[in-house]
Structures are given as C-alpha cells and as structure tokens.
C-alpha cells in the first residue's frame, strides 16, 4: 500500500494541482454565488489534500519525521489564511485568498524539499507577514493621507535604493541586500510597493503633461539606480510597472510606445556600457560554451526542467539541488523536475488567475488612486513570475528574480504577501462602501 | 477619502452592514457583472495571457525536443538517480540476438553484460566512462522504464529494479563475426550496408576491447593513445584512399568529358612524369595501351595521373564538395570529416597525387561506403541507420526507425557510368577474386601506401549484385598489403554469407 502510494502520489499531486488551476480560471465563468462557493470549497480541499499527499510522500521517502512538523505548520498556515481572514473579514476576496494560500503552501512544500530549516524560517516569515497584513487591513480604511505622500514615496524609495547601491553587499555580482543586524533585507522588493504608491499618487487625478514628465523622470531614476546595482530583474519589473500604470492612468497607448522606444534605447545603451548585461544576453543566446562557469546555472536549470517529465520524479526523488539557487531564482525548475511540468503549468495558471482577479477588482474601483495601486500590484506580481519562469527555461535572458510567494527569501515573501493583502484591504473597503451605497439607495426609496 | 467617490458618510455605517454578509455578497456580485467594461484592463489581461500562453507552449516544446539529448549530457547527473530505480534495457541484434543486457547485483547496483565480448565494442559501445555507440544514442530509452504504476509499486516493495525499454539494432551478428574473424590481429574497419534501406548490417573496428571489462581496462585504453583502441575506425578512422579514390577522379572526368571518355587512350610505361615529378604504377607494372575502362579496372596510376592533369581544378573542387568532402556527413554516431582541398591554386604534383588517391587526402571507410551506396543505388544515397526500433517491455514497438533522408549525390547517368567501371574491376581487373557463379559483384580495390617502403593499407569498396544492388561493403585492413589480395577475399566471404541467407 505504502509503495503504491509512493508510485502514484506524483500523479495525484499533478491532478490536484490541475484541478485547482482549472477551478481558479473557471470561477470567472461561474454565474451564481452558489457555484463560486462550491468552487471555493473544492479549492480549499485541494489545497489541504496537496499538502497532505506531498508531506506524506516526503516522509515515506526520507523516513524523516520532521516532515510531520512541516505538514503541521503548513496546515497551520492554511488554517490561518483561510479561516482567520474569512472570520475577521467576511467581505474579503475568496479567490485571492485561496490562491494566496495555495501558492504559499506550494512554496513551503518545495522549500521544505530543499531544506526543512529554510522552510521553517519561511513559515515564520509568512506568519509574521500575515499577522502584519491583518493589522494593516484594520487600519487601512482609516488612513486618509495616502494620496498626499507623493514626494515622501519618491524620496523614501530612492533613498532606500541608493543605500543599497552604496552600502549593499555584493552577492553574485549584484548589489541586492543590506544587513540589518542578523537579518539581510532586500529593499528593492519593498520599494516596488512604494514605487507603485508613488505612481498612483502622482497620476491619479488632474493629469497634465508636466506630471507625466516628472513621473517619467523619477521612474527613470529608480530604474537607473537598479541597473547600476546590477539588479536587472527589478529594473525591468519597475519599468514595466511604470509603462502599464501610465497607460491605465492616461488611457493613451502613445505613452506605452514612447516608453517602449525609450526602454529599447536605454537597453541598447546598457548593453553597450555594462558587461554584466552583455554576459546575460550572451548566455541566453548560447549557454553551452560556458557550461563550466557562467552558463552552469541555466544549463542545470534546463536539465532539471527536462528531467522530470509531465508528472515529475516525485518529491525528494530528483536532483534539483544541482542548480545553484534552486530555492530562490530557480524554484520553478525544481517544481518542474519533482512535481512535473503539469504542476509547473498549474502554478502559472494560478498566478494568471490571481492577476485576472486583481484586475477585475481594479476595474470595479472608481477612485483612480486605488485602482492604479491594485493594477500596479497585479502587473508587478505576474511580470515577476514571467521573468523568473521565462529566465529558468531560457525563454528570455536570465534576470535572477524570485517567484512571488513560492521562492525562498524573507523580503520577497513578505513584500508579496503585503501586496496581496493591500489588494484585499482595498477590496474589503470597496465591498463595505458598496454595501453602504446599497443601503443608502434603499433608504432613499 | 472614499474609494467610491459618490459614497458619503460610509464610515459610520460600515459596522452596521458587515454582519449580514451573504446577501451583500450576492448583491455585490450581481452588481459587478453590470459594471462597465474597462477596455485597458481587458487589453492588459490579453497581453499577459498571450505572453504566458507563448511561454507555456515554449516550455512544453522545449521539454519534448530536448529531454533525450539533455539527458545524455555528461554534465547532467540525473541518470545516477535512475540507476537506483531502473535496470538498463537490452540491446538486440537484427535477428534478436542479445548484444547487451544488465543484471541486478545483490546490493541493488547493476552490471552491464556484453555476451559477444569485443565483437560490438565500437558499434554497440559501452555505458560507463561516458557512453559510445548504440549505448549513447539510445541512452534515454535504455534507462527509462515503461512499467505500469502497479508493477513499479511491486518492484519498489520487493527491492527490484524496474525494467526499461529494449533496443533492436540493424546489426547482423553472423556477418559481423565473419568480418571480425577475418581481420584477426590486423587493425582495420569493415562496414556493410543495405543500399536501398540504409540499414547498417556490419560495423567492425579493430583493434577492439572487451566492454565487459571496461572498468578494468579504462586506464590502459586511455593511456595508450597511439593505438587508439577506443576509436571507431569505421567512422572516425582517417585513411589515404589509395586507388579507391579513382572512382571520384573518374566521376569528375565523366562530368567534364561525358561521352568523350570512350575515345580516351593512354600508353602506360609504368610511370607518368610532369616536370620533375614522377608517378609510378603499383610495383612499376607496365599496363601498355589502356582505354578509360581498362585504366580503371587495372588501376593504372600513370593513366590516372594523366587523367587528373586534364581536369579543371575548380570544377573538381565542386565535385568533391558535392560528395561531402570537408563537410558534415549524415551519420548516426560520432565521426570525423574527410579532408581534401583542391582549388585552382593546387600545384601539378598534388593534383597528380590526389588523382590516384595518395597525397593529402584522408577519408573514413564510412564516407567511402556512402559514396559506394549512392553509386549502387543509381546516384541516390539512402542515409545509413543502426537502430531498427525501440520496444516496450511488453514487446510492442514504441519507436520505429528508418533512414532519415535520401538525397542524390550524382545523376543516374553518372552512377551508371561508375557502375560499369566497377563491374569491369571484377570481370577483368584487380578484384577478380570476386568472380563466381552465384552473384555478380562490382567494386574498386585500393592499396594505399603509407610509407616510403611501399607498404600499403588494403582497401576494397563495392556492392552486389551488380544488376540490382542490395548491399555495399567497404573494407580497410591496415598494413594488409594490396586490396585485391587482402580486402577482396573478405568482401567475397561477406557477400557469400549474405546471398546464402537472403
């Protein structure tokens, strides 16, 4: 029985993830509230079952009882996310919440496959971030000055990025993080959010050409600092956020084309000036001559993706740890190797589902400030997923960013969690106001 | 400070309405469906959806295209995991003879067994210390299992390894053995192919080694680079072609003179001179008056040096190009390109040397066989292959191989011209030992001198039957002597055995 389970668990996991992925898209077609509730129940069951099957599989393979602890803490997480949030805020967005829980669960499972210690740290960071976010939802509706902090956002963001540029630790050629006592923080993850707030606060009303130019200059400054810090992935994400938010603010695609042309020009200049940019492109074009050094990562990642097949080798039964940074930049390759390509595609579909839902929320908001924030967050999360997955499979040059909510890394997971819950906060406010409006109308009649 | 601009005084009412959530969810959702469409948001969704669909498609295609090649890359360590789960599959000869299989040891490891020892050392190859031959080509199937879920569970519970796909090659064990035995202690190479299908029946390279003991032999094999035992001389060996090259010189002459070749006549005194350079016929033989056909049949060096001098050197270069000299060859395993450069700058001496197959030319027996196959098949080369099929453990064929492509190396007229010349080599020339009553053969011998003492490698390349060619054979025996005396008898043994059975 045990052996039958070990042989079949990978198929079960793939099917579960596929069911979840399909449900996360088909929920948009569900007309009735009842249908959506049913889908939500399926999603929660699939989430818990996936965690169970994965942990039992790892326990049987490794004969390490610590995976029981992993199982318990992931279930605690799921319980916290789903039950506590819904009890405290019945108006919360169920699909976003379910997707959040599913992605965080998958992340914890994959990280625990690489290192139980790391997954435990990840668990602590996730719970702390979650607690912060619950507090944030409570106070979010009461803060009134968010729109007025335009220059604060710009200054704080630029300051933080400059600090990294000057004081940052150089790890693997780029300056990404600064040390605060025992912990190392990667500010660009958080500044992303500040950047979105800055854009929304400058572009939300009374738009004129001067404002657009100012926003473009500040955005160029952000991106420029990141390029000089060699954090190319973040630079690209900031650039794309800016382009999309600008279009939603102005409703004019000329800005996007202008931005793309400026971006292309800047890329060519960066390519000419910075050797690290050239190296990235060169390795993307043909990594094989550099298999012993610069191309090693990407080639190991490619081996990893092609070695698991559609259903994967089974957790702990592959060798994804041959990829340097398997748990951060190449976590998608680990998923493909051990859980299979179907699981990998399912994770992508869940990310797209989150994106669509966030944009739906954004489309319902009348206040441009919050509309643009939700929109910016959605673009940021999905584009980051695109960069890391596309980089790991050599679809695009490697940029070295994390897969939101899944990759190991305190700053990344905390920033992504906050992003999800800012959208939740805005959504909850929207729902509450909506109810007020309805009741106002009723009383008028 | 409200998200919806038209709502006032909402803060005081928030708590009052948060209790009855079910109704409000419904109201909200109904209302949300009626909200006006935000075009830009839809476009954003479309842009990212296209981006992700492209990426997912790329991922699947990338996986399907690369899974087996990446798997066999020496930097990919994933194979070691599979060896703890799966027992490497079997390799069979054409008629089901077991050429390689694996046994599971008590400690769970596995050992590869090659029942025929060194007979297929290069063609089937080995699977530790890197992989060669069939073991390398079919590595992906050989180490992946097709066992069902229940079987795998049972194997896992009993500590057994799963069984893998099995590979059937095109090799004919009987013919392979004949060639192997004939070469004996001589170094050399033999390849025999079916000209109409491209199947390789024989691929022997000497010196050989016993792949059963590859682990023990490894240091010795790699240390002794001079004898290059590991080299598959069929595809990687580079030899001076000797008189077999006259096929190519003849082809070029035909291309330049077409029907005029019939008027060709030359009086051979046993040598040919231009300026101070002198070309001797083999062992100084005087051939007297020879026409084109007889020059070829008797392999007259003086006449062919004379023919070579008449050729346009840049045209010749094009012909060499069309015959894949200095170029990639269609070859299923590792090989070395043949090398020969002729241009309008080539001097007379080199031109004469090249015309008779001496000089700087080097060619692999495999390449010579490709040219012979094309001649035998009216100019069309059906590219060779050595894997017949891959079968699942239940015996069902999961992958069936055939020749990958067929293309023309020369026109049917040119092939017919060369066929006649090669028949005359058997009927009235240097390959007389192939004359018999059962089948007719055609070919060209060669005795490629490799030192100043007149010692030579024995070549033969040819096909049979002459009327409707089925198989082409190419033989080289290093330091074997003359092609007619040493290589032709092996061709006869192989043809005899082939036509006895087919």
B211 backbone dihedrals φ, ψ, rounded to 5°: -65, -15
Record: contact A426-B3, CB cut-off 8 A: yes
Same domain flag for A139 and A286: yes
A139 CB-near residues (< 8 Å, 6+ apart): none
Record: contact B24-A433, CB cut-off 8 A: no
B146: which chain A residues are within 8 Å (Cβ-Cβ)?
A: none
Record: contact B59-A341, CB cut-off 8 A: yes
Q: What percent of chain B has pLDDT over 70?
A: 92
- Determine the Cα angle at B71 with ends B69 and B75, to 5°: 105
Distance CA B313, CA B345 (A): 8
Mutate to test the interface with B, among A360, A363, A374 (most CBs of B within 10 A): A363
A177 close to A169: Cβ distance less than 8 angstroms:
yes
Q: How far is CA A138 from CA A93, A134, A142, A340, in A?
A: 15, 7, 8, 40
* Residue A444 pLDDT: 59
What residue of B is the nearest CA neighbor of A357?
A: B45
> Which B residues 48-77 touch A at CB under 8 Å?
48-49, 51-52, 54-56, 58-60, 62-63, 66-67, 70-71, 73, 75-77
- Asked if pLDDT for residue B364 goes beyond 60, the answer is yes
DSSP string of B222-244, one letter each residue: HH-TTT-TTS-HHHH--B--GGG
Q: How far is A1 from chain B (nearest CA, A)?
A: 8
- Domain stop point among A257, A273, A289: A273
- Determine the Cα angle at A306 with ends A305 and A309, to 5°: 100
Nearest to B4 among A356, A395, A437 (CB): A437
Q: How far is A178 from chain B (nearest CA, A)?
A: 33
| B268: helix, strand or coil | strand
Mode of pairing for the β-strands spanning B456-464 and B166-169 = unpaired
- Asked if pLDDT for residue B273 goes beyond 50, the answer is yes
User: How large is the average pLDDT for residues B278-289?
Assistant: 86
| A352: helix, strand or coil | helix
The residue with tokens 């819950």 is A421
Q: How far is B61 from chain A (nearest CA, A)?
A: 10
Distance CA B99, CA B122 (A): 12
Distance CA A386, CA A347 (A): 12
* Residue A414 pLDDT: 95
Mode of pairing for the β-strands spanning B86-87 and B162-163 = parallel
Q: Compute how many other C-beta atoms are within 10 angstroms of the C-beta atom of residue B265.
A: 12
* Residue A119 pLDDT: 92
Q: How far is CA A28 from CA A193, B107, B217, in A?
A: 27, 55, 66
A124 backbone dihedrals φ, ψ, rounded to 5°: -65, -45
A400 close to A329: Cβ distance less than 8 angstroms:
yes
Same domain flag for A313 and A394: yes
Show the DSSP H helices in B237-394 as ranges. Answer: 246-257, 292-297, 301-310, 313-322, 348-355, 365-376
- Domain stop point among A256, A273, A290: A273
B90 DSSP assignment: P
Nearest to A244 among B3, B44, B54 (CB): B44
Same domain flag for A105 and A163: no
Rank A141-155, A269-283, B45-59, B260-274 by mean pLDDT and report only the highest. Answer: B45-59
Residue-averaged pLDDT of chain B: 87
The residue with tokens 């319980």 is A79
Q: How far is A12 from chain B (nearest CA, A)?
A: 12
Nearest to B14 among A3, A307, A432 (CB): A432
What residue of A is the nearest CA neighbor of B26?
A: A33
| B199: helix, strand or coil | strand
> What number of helices (H) and strands (E) belong to chain A?
17, 3
Same domain flag for A294 and A391: yes
A383 close to B73: Cβ distance less than 8 angstroms:
no
A43 close to A97: Cβ distance less than 8 angstroms:
no
What residue of A is the nearest CA neighbor of B155?
A: A3
Tell me which residue of A144, A142, A74, A73 sits closest to A102, measured CA to CA.
A74
Q: If pLDDT is split at 50, 70 and 90, which confidence band does B80 have?
A: confident
Nearest to B18 among A90, A344, A352 (CB): A90
User: How large is the average pLDDT for residues B309-326?
Assistant: 92
B202 close to B177: Cβ distance less than 8 angstroms:
no
Nearest to A366 among B5, B56, B70 (CB): B5
| B271: helix, strand or coil | strand
Record: contact B76-A434, CB cut-off 8 A: no
A432 DSSP assignment: H
- Strand-pairing partners, residue B474, are B191, B461
Record: contact A318-B78, CB cut-off 8 A: yes
DSSP string of A247-290, one letter each residue: HHHH--HHHHHHHHHHHHHHHHHHHHH-HHHHHHHHHHH--GGG
Is residue B207 reached through a cis peptide bond, with omega within 30 degrees of 0 on the bond before it?
yes
A301 close to A400: Cβ distance less than 8 angstroms:
no
B207 close to B221: Cβ distance less than 8 angstroms:
no
Nearest to A393 among B10, B11, B62 (CB): B62
Same domain flag for A158 and A108: no
What confidence tens digit (pLDDT) does each residue in B437-459 have? 899 999 999 988 888 777 889 99
B382 backbone dihedrals φ, ψ, rounded to 5°: -95, 110
B355 backbone dihedrals φ, ψ, rounded to 5°: -60, -30
A435: which chain B residues are within 8 Å (Cβ-Cβ)?
A: 13, 17-18, 24, 27-28
Q: How many domains does chain A have?
A: 2
Record: contact B52-A307, CB cut-off 8 A: no
Kindly report the pTM of this predicted structure: 0.80
Distance CA A333, CA A344 (A): 8
C-alpha count within 13 angstroms, C-beta hemisphere, residue B348: 11
Mutate to test the interface with B, among A306, A372, A391 (most CBs of B within 10 A): A306
B57: which chain A residues are within 8 Å (Cβ-Cβ)?
A: none
Length of chain B: 502
Tell me which residue of A351, A440, A232, A315 sits closest to A51, measured CA to CA.
A315
The residue with tokens 């897969």 is A403
Q: Which regions of chain A are under pLDDT 70?
A: 170-175, 181, 442-445
B474 DSSP assignment: E
Q: How far is CA B64 from CA A53, A99, B67, B80, in A?
A: 28, 29, 6, 21
* Residue B16 pLDDT: 35
Distance CA A73, CA A234 (A): 31
A426: which chain B residues are within 8 Å (Cβ-Cβ)?
A: 3
What residue of B is the nearest CA neighbor of A343?
A: B56
Q: If pLDDT is split at 50, 70 and 90, which confidence band does B303 have?
A: very high
Q: Compute how many other C-beta atoms are within 10 angstroms of the C-beta atom of residue B348.
A: 14
Record: contact B21-A7, CB cut-off 8 A: no
* Residue B21 pLDDT: 44
B27: which chain A residues are within 8 Å (Cβ-Cβ)?
A: 434-435, 438
Distance CA A89, CA A428 (A): 7
A321 DSSP assignment: G
Q: How far is A94 from chain B (nearest CA, A)?
A: 11
A318: which chain B residues are within 8 Å (Cβ-Cβ)?
A: 78, 81
B147: which chain A residues are within 8 Å (Cβ-Cβ)?
A: none
* Residue A163 pLDDT: 86
Record: contact A313-B81, CB cut-off 8 A: yes
A218 close to A155: Cβ distance less than 8 angstroms:
no
Same domain flag for A291 and A428: yes
- Type and span of the H or E element at B206: strand B200-206
A365: which chain B residues are within 8 Å (Cβ-Cβ)?
A: 3-4
- Asked if pLDDT for residue B33 goes beyond 60, the answer is no
- Please give the domain boundaries of chain B with CATH numbers for all domains: 232-387+403-501 (3.40.710.10)
Mutate to test the interface with B, among A385, A433, A441 (most CBs of B within 10 A): A433
Same domain flag for A126 and A21: yes
Q: In what order do the strands lie in the sheet with B91-92?
A: B110-113, B98-104, B91-92, B166-169, B387-391, B397-400
A91: which chain B residues are within 8 Å (Cβ-Cβ)?
A: 18, 21, 24-25
Mutate to test the interface with A, among B6, B8, B10 (most CBs of A within 10 A): B10
3-state helix, strand, coil in chain B (%, to 5): 45, 20, 35
Positions of E strands within B320-410: 380-382, 387-391, 397-400, 406-408
Same domain flag for A80 and A180: no
A137 close to A181: Cβ distance less than 8 angstroms:
no
A362: which chain B residues are within 8 Å (Cβ-Cβ)?
A: 38, 41
B59 compared with B257, residue with greater pLDDT: B59
Tell me which residue of A387, A379, A311, A296 sits closest to A342, measured CA to CA.
A311
> Which B residues 133-172 touch A at CB under 8 Å?
149-150, 152-154, 156-157
Give the residue numbers spanning the domain of A356: 2-144+278-444
Tell me which residue of A439, A399, A404, A406 sits closest to A423, measured CA to CA.
A404
ipTM above 0.90, yes or no: yes
Q: What is the SS3 assignment for B70-123?
A: HHCCCCCCCHHHHHCCEECCCEECCCCCEEEEEEECCCCCEEEECCCHHHHCCC
The residue with tokens 């990025």 is A161
Same domain flag for A316 and A438: yes
Record: contact A437-B66, CB cut-off 8 A: no
Nearest to A90 among B13, B21, B76 (CB): B21
- Domain stop point among A273, A308, A333: A273
Q: How far is A358 from chain B (nearest CA, A)?
A: 10
What confidence tens digit (pLDDT) does each residue in B113-125 have? 999 999 999 999 9
- Strand-pairing partners, residue B6, are none
Show the DSSP H helices in B18-93 as ranges. Answer: 21-34, 39-71, 79-83
The residue with tokens 């900031």 is A238
What confidence tens digit (pLDDT) does each residue in B86-107 have? 999 999 999 999 999 999 998 8
- Asked if pLDDT for residue B13 goes beyond 60, the answer is no
B145: which chain A residues are within 8 Å (Cβ-Cβ)?
A: none
Same domain flag for A268 and A217: yes
Distance CA B410, CA B387 (A): 27
Mutate to test the interface with A, among B63, B73, B85 (most CBs of A within 10 A): B63
Tell me which residue of A342, A341, A355, A365 sits closest to A25, measured CA to CA.
A355
Tell me which residue of A65, A53, A37 sits closest to A343, measured CA to CA.
A53
Nearest to A33 among B9, B25, B156 (CB): B25
Same domain flag for A207 and A291: no
Tell me which residue of B363, B441, B450 sits closest to B189, measured CA to CA.
B363
Q: Cα–chain-centroid distance for residue A136?
A: 19
What residue of B is the nearest CA neighbor of A61?
A: B156
Record: contact A367-B2, CB cut-off 8 A: yes
Nearest to A341 among B3, B44, B60 (CB): B60
Q: Is B45 in the A-facing interface, judged by CB distances under 8 Å?
A: yes
Same domain flag for A314 and A436: yes
Q: Compute how many other C-beta atoms are within 10 angstroms of the C-beta atom of residue A377.
A: 25
Mutate to test the interface with A, among B24, B47, B48 (most CBs of A within 10 A): B48
């Amino acid at each position: 029985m045990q052996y039958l389970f070990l042989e079949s668990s990978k198929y079960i996991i793939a099917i579960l993830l596929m069911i979840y992925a399909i449900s996360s898209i088909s929920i948009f077609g569900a007309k009735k509230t009842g249908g959506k509730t049913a889908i939500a129940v399926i999603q929660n069951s699939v989430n818990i079952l996936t965690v169970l099957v994965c942990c039992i599989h790892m326990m049987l393979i490794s004969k390490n009882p610590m995976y029981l602890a992993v199982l318990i803490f992931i279930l605690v997480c799921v319980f916290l996310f789903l039950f506590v949030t819904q009890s405290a805020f019945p108006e919360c967005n169920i699909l976003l919440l379910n997707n959040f829980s599913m992605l965080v669960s998958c992340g914890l499972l994959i990280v625990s496959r690489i290192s139980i210690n790391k997954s435990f740290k990840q668990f602590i960071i996730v719970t702390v971030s979650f607690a912060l976010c619950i507090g944030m939802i409570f106070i979010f509706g009461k803060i009134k000055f968010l729109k007025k902090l335009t220059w604060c956002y710009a200054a704080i963001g630029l300051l933080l990025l400059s600090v990294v540029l000057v004081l940052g630790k150089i790890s693997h050629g780029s300056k990404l993080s600064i040390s605060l006592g025992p912990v190392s923080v990667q500010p660009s993850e958080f500044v992303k959010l500040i950047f979105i707030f800055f854009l929304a606060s400058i572009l939300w009303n009374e738009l004129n050409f001067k404002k657009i130019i100012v926003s473009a200059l500040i955005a160029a400054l952000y991106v420029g600092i990141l390029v000089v810090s060699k954090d190319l992935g973040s630079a690209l994400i900031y650039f794309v956020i800016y382009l999309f938010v600008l279009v939603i603010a102005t409703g004019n695609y000329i800005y996007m084309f202008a931005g793309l042309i400026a971006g292309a020009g800047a890329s060519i200049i960066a390519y000419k000036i910075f050797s690290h940019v050239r190296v990235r492109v060169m390795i993307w074009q043909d990594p094989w001559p550099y298999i012993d050094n610069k191309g090693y990562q990407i080639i190991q990642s490619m081996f990893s993706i092609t070695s698991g097949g559609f259903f994967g080798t089974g957790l702990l039964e592959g060798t994804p740890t041959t990829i340097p940074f398997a748990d951060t930049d190449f976590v998608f390759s680990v998923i493909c190797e051990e859980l299979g390509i179907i699981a990998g595609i399912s994770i992508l579909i869940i990310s797209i589902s989150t994106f669509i839902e966030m944009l739906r929320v954004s489309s319902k908001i009348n206040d441009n400030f919050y509309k643009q924030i939700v929109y910016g967050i959605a673009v940021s999360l999905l584009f980051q997923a695109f960069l890391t997955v596309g980089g790991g499979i050599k679809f695009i040059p490697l940029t070295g960013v994390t897969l939101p909510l899944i990759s190991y890394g305190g700053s990344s997971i905390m920033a992504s969690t906050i992003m999800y819950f800012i959208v939740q906060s805005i959504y909850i406010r929207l729902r509450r106001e909506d109810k007020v409006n309805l009741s106002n109308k009723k009383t008028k009649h | 400070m409200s998200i919806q601009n038209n709502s006032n005084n909402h803060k005081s009412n928030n708590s009052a309405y948060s209790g009855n959530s079910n109704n409000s969810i419904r109201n909200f959702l109904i209302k949300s469906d009626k909200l006006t469409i935000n075009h830009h948001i839809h476009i954003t969704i479309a842009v990212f959806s296209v981006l992700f669909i492209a990426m997912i498609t790329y991922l699947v295609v990338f996986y399907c295209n690369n899974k087996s090649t990446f798997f066999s890359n020496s930097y990919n360590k994933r194979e070691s995991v599979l060896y703890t789960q799966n027992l490497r599959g079997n390799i069979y000869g054409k008629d089901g003879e077991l050429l390689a299989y694996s046994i599971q040891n008590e400690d769970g490891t596995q050992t590869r067994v090659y029942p025929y020892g060194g007979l297929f050392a290069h063609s089937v190859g080995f699977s530790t210390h890197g992989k060669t031959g069939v073991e390398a080509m079919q590595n992906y199937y050989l180490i992946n299992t097709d066992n069902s879920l229940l079987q795998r569970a049972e194997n896992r519970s009993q500590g057994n390894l799963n069984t893998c796909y099995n590979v059937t090659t095109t090799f004919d064990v009987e013919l392979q053995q004949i060639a192997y035995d004939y070469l004996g202690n001589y170094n050399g190479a033999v390849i025999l192919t079916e000209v109409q299908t491209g199947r390789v029946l024989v691929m022997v390279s000497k010196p050989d080694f016993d792949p059963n003991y590859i682990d023990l032999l490894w240091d010795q094999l790699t240390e002794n680079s001079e004898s290059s035992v590991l080299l598959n001389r069929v595809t990687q060996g580079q030899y001076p072609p000797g008189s077999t090259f006259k096929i190519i010189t003849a082809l070029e002459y035909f291309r330049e003179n077409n029907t005029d070749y019939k008027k060709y006549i030359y009086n051979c005194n046993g040598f040919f001179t231009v300026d101070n350079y002198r070309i001797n016929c083999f062992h100084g033989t005087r051939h007297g008056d020879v026409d084109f056909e007889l020059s070829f049949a008797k392999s007259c060096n003086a006449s062919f040096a004379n023919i070579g001098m008449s050729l346009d050197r840049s045209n010749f270069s094009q012909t060499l190009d069309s015959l894949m000299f200095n170029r990639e060859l269609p070859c299923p395993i590792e090989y070395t390109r043949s090398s020969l450069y002729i241009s309008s700058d080539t001097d007379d001496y080199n031109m004469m040397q090249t015309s008779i197959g001496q000089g700087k030319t080097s060619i692999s027996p495999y390449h010579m066989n490709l040219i012979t196959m094309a001649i035998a098949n009216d100019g069309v080369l059906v590219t060779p292959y050595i894997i017949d099929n891959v079968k699942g453990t239940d015996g069902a064929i999961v992958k069936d191989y055939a020749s990958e492509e067929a293309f023309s190396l020369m026109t049917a007229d040119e092939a017919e011209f060369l066929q006649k010349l090669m028949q005359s080599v058997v009927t009235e020339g240097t390959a007389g030992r192939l004359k018999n009553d059962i089948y007719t053969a055609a070919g060209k011998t060669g005795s490629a001198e490799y030192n100043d003492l007149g010692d030579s490698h024995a070549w033969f390349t040819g096909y049979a039957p002459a009327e409707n060619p089925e198989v082409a054979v190419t033989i080289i025996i290093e330091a074997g002597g003359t092609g007619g005396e040493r290589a032709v008898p092996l061709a006869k043994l192989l043809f005899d055995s082939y036509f006895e059975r087919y």
